[in-house]
């Protein structure tokens, strides 16, 4: 009965609402379990020093809002609403609402490098050079594949000319790349495989295409191959979506051995791999060697997607896509039907920025900056949350993925709400699963938008909240 006690005289809010809110919080945090019988009206009224009608009204409000159910002749029982289903909207609206006051928060939700590290003056000089060089031509639409100069730069600098520039398609970021590929390849009721958990933007695209989505759990070096092959044996799979480095949200990177196994299975079972190459530039562990699925692909099974927006500057919205020969035309047509051309000026500016060597310099600088921040955050997590969460050390990227220990009753939605009240923002794991309830005990902490002082302060606050 102790957990039900609350001082109802502390504020001006009606007493029945204070009681209802308190019980609702206990239900949401699993301190009152789903289906648990609530105290009788008389007993709770005596405990809180209120009259019976106050408790009756509190129970009625809980029932009306779906947090309790009354059984005739038996009493009132807790009912845990499926709060997960509508949480995505709540999360999005919360971030929108506070976007203008984000500096007041410790922000662990960021997924891109901080704009404070971006060399604005240098980029502005390059942009002006493009306008001086190309004049009005810099502002006109390009050919469907994208600006030829940028495609040649990508081929030369990132692929050592192993990929022809005519096989590269410029897109407006990774999200558009996933959407374009889905429109070209996936029809209603086609089957796709995703990692469990996976990027919520990809899940949304596949659901919108009305695909049948199969999930394969992630291990420490990629998905479970045995479970993958079980699905492949029983179903005709069109494609497998993967993030090969520092996966969002688990931060896992695939081993070369596992990549080769999956490529072999793609050939045997006739499916394609959509590789979203996410943040592979930010490798801090020197023992990790970069090899994409695409670079290991001998049978043209990989559709490679890369965004410059994730690592460079979100506002420029530029990425590229390398399709297999079989789907090159249909994917190009899908891009044309989605939009005519990605910003010509930004393509030309990025091309010159890469050609002048500024891109490599920028990546080298932020790799050093974020490696230091990564090391510091890992130390803080082990120091302050080591007894409350489990996590892997990814060796790169911009985030860590936490699993709340089973001994703790709190879930990630409750933690998100409590942390928000303390001006700390985190990302609950339910956003990354086909079935949201699978992510209740997980949350993601990014360090791209928060300095070392904020990192330790925020982690200490989360630690305190998890002790409640």
Per-residue pLDDT of 19-68, as tens digits, reads 888 888 888 766 788 788 899 888 888 888 889 998 889 888 888 877 88
Q: State the pLDDT at residue 157.
A: 95
Quick one: 379 and 441 in the same domain? yes
Tokens in use for 424? Answer: 């700390």
Total domains in the fold of the chain:
3
The last residue of one of the domains, among 307, 322, 356, is 356
pLDDT above 90 as % of the chain: 63
Quick one: 144 and 73 in the same domain? no
Quick one: 350 and 407 in the same domain? no
Q: State the pLDDT at residue 3.
A: 78
Quick one: 270 and 297 in the same domain? yes
Q: Tell me the average pLDDT across 352-375.
A: 95
Tokens 């919205």 sit at which residue? Answer: 317
Quick one: 322 and 416 in the same domain? no
Quick one: 99 and 172 in the same domain? no
CATH number for the domain including 135?
3.40.640.10
Q: Tell me the average pLDDT across 351-379.
A: 95
Domain boundaries, position 127: 120-356
State yes or no: pLDDT of 115 exceeds 60.
Answer: yes
Q: Tell me the average pLDDT across 438-446.
A: 94
Question: How are strands ordered across the β-sheet holding 442-446?
Answer: 389-390, 399-404, 442-446, 427-428
| Residue range 118-140, pLDDT digits in tens | 888 999 999 999 999 999 888 87
CATH number for the domain including 413?
3.90.1150.10
Q: Tell me the average pLDDT across 69-91.
A: 78
- pLDDT-derived band at 83 (thresholds 50, 70, 90) equals low
| Residue range 176-212, pLDDT digits in tens | 999 999 999 999 889 999 999 999 999 999 999 999 9
State yes or no: pLDDT of 114 exceeds 80.
Answer: no
Phi, psi of 335 (to 5 degrees): -65, -45
Quick one: 54 and 106 in the same domain? no
Tokens 């709770």 sit at which residue? Answer: 44
Quick one: 163 and 214 in the same domain? yes
Question: Residue 408's CB: how many other CB atoms inside 10 A?
Answer: 17
Q: State the pLDDT at residue 335.
A: 84
Quick one: 313 and 414 in the same domain? no
Higher pLDDT, 64 or 219: 219
Higher pLDDT, 456 or 101: 456
Measured distance CA(445)–CA(428) in Å, rounded: 9
CATH number for the domain including 53?
1.10.10.10
Tokens in use for 327? Answer: 């789907």
pLDDT above 70 as % of the chain: 96
For the whole model, what pTM was predicted? 0.81
Higher pLDDT, 294 or 6: 294
Q: State the pLDDT at residue 118.
A: 84
| Residue range 395-431, pLDDT digits in tens | 999 999 999 998 998 999 999 999 999 999 999 999 9
**Left if phi > 0, otherwise alpha if psi is -120 to 50, otherwise beta: which for 464?**
alpha
Name which of 162, 180, 182 is nearest 172 in CA terms: 180
- pLDDT-derived band at 340 (thresholds 50, 70, 90) equals low
State yes or no: pLDDT of 343 exceeds 90.
Answer: no
State yes or no: pLDDT of 350 exceeds 70.
Answer: yes
C-alpha pair distances (Å), 159 with each of 43, 154, 292, 298: 72, 7, 11, 15
Quick one: 304 and 379 in the same domain? no
Q: What is the 3-state secondary structure (H, E, C) of the chain?
A: CHHHCCCCCCCCCCHHHHHHHHHHHHHHCCCCCCCCECCCHHHHHHHHCCCHHHHHHHHHHHHHCCCEEEECCCEEEECCCCCCCCHHHHHHHHHHHHHHHHHHCEECCCCCCCHHHCCHHHHHHHHHHHHHHHHHHHHCCCCCCCCHHHHHHHHHHHHCCCCCHHHCEEECCHHHHHHHHHHHHCCCCCEEEEEECCCHHHHHHHHHCCCEEEEEEEEECEECHHHHHHHHHHCCEEEEEECCCCCCCCCCCCCHHHHHHHHHHHHHHCCEEEEECCCCCCECCCCCCCCCHHHHCCCCCEEEEEECCCCCCHHHCCEEEECCHHHHHHHHHHHHHHCCCCCHHHHHHHHHHHHCCHHHHHHHHHHHHHHHHHHHHHHHHHHHHCCCEECCCCCECCEEEEEECCCCCCCHHHHHHHHHHCCEECEEHHHHCCCHHHHCCEEEEECCCCCHHHHHHHHHHHHHHHCC
The last residue of one of the domains, among 310, 334, 356, is 356
The last residue of one of the domains, among 305, 340, 356, is 356
Q: State the pLDDT at residue 316.
A: 79
State yes or no: pLDDT of 348 exceeds 90.
Answer: yes
Please give the torsion angle defined by the CA atoms of residues 283, 387, 401 and 239, in that order, rounded to the nearest 10 degrees: 110
- pLDDT-derived band at 369 (thresholds 50, 70, 90) equals very high
Q: What is the 3-state secondary structure (H, E, C) of 411-460?
A: CHHHHHHHHHHCCEECEEHHHHCCCHHHHCCEEEEECCCCCHHHHHHHHH
Quick one: 217 and 275 in the same domain? yes
Residues 6+ apart with CB under 8 A from 167: 322, 323, 328
Q: State the pLDDT at residue 88.
A: 81
Q: What mean pLDDT, rounded, does the chain reach?
A: 90
Q: State the pLDDT at residue 7.
A: 78
Measured distance CA(197)–CA(203) in Å, rounded: 10
Q: CA-based angle 344:347:350, to the nearest 5?
A: 150
- pLDDT-derived band at 142 (thresholds 50, 70, 90) equals low
Quick one: 74 and 155 in the same domain? no
Please give the torsion angle defined by the CA atoms of residues 201, 202, 204 and 209, in that order, rounded to the nearest 10 degrees: 150
Q: State the pLDDT at residue 141.
A: 67
């Amino acid at each position: 009965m102790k957990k039900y006690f609350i001082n109802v005289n502390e504020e001006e809010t009606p007493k029945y609402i204070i009681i209802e809110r308190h019980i609702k919080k206990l239900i949401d945090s699993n301190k009152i379990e789903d289906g648990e019988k609530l105290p009788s009206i008389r007993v709770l009224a005596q405990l809180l020093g209120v009259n019976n009608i106050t408790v009756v009204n509190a129970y009625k409000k809980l029932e009306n809002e779906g947090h309790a159910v009354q059984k005739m002749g038996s009493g009132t029982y807790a009912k845990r609403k499926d709060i997960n289903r509508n949480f995505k909207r709540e999360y999005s609206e919360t971030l929108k609402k506070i976007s203008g006051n984000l500096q007041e928060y410790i922000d662990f939700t960021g997924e891109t490098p901080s704009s404070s590290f971006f060399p604005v003056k240098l980029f502005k000089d390059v942009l002006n050079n493009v306008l001086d060089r190309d004049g009005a031509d810099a502002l006109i639409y390009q050919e469907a594949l994208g600006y030829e100069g940028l495609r040649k730069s990508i081929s030369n600098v990132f692929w050592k000319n192993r990929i022809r520039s005519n096989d590269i398609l410029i897109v407006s970021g990774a999200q558009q790349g996933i959407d374009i590929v889905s429109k070209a390849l996936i029809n209603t009721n086609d089957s796709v495989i995703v990692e469990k958990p996976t990027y919520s933007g990809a899940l949304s695209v596949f659901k919108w295409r009305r695909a049948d989505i199969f999930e394969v759990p992630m291990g420490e070096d990629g998905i479970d191959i045995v479970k993958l092959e079980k699905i492949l044996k029983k179903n005709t799979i069109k494609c497998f979506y993967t993030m090969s480095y520092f996966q969002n949200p688990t931060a896992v990177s695939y081993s070369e051995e596992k990549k080769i196994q999956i490529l072999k299975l793609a050939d045997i079972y006739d499916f394609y791999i959509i590789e979203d190459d996410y943040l592979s530039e930010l490798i801090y562990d020197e023992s990790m060697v970069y090899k994409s699925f695409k670079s290991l692909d001998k049978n043209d099974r990989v559709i490679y997607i890369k965004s410059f927006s994730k690592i460079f500057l979100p506002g420029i919205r530029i990425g590229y896509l390398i399709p297999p020969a079989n789907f090159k035309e249909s994917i190009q047509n899908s891009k044309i039907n989605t939009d005519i051309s990605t910003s010509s000026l930004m393509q030309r500016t990025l091309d010159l920025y890469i050609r002048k060597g500024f891109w490599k310099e920028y990546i080298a600088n932020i790799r050093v900056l974020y490696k230091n921040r990564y090391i510091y955050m890992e130390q803080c997590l082990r120091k302050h949350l080591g007894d409350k969460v489990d996590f892997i050390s990814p060796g790169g990227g911009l985030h860590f993925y936490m699993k709340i220990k089973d001994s703790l009753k709190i879930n990630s939605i409750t933690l998100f709400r409590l942390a928000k009240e303390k001006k700390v923002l985190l990302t609950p794991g339910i956003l990354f699963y086909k079935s949201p309830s699978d992510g209740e005990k997980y949350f993601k902490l990014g360090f791209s938008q928060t300095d070392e002082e904020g990192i330790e302060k925020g982690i200490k606050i989360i630690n305190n909240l998890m002790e409640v």
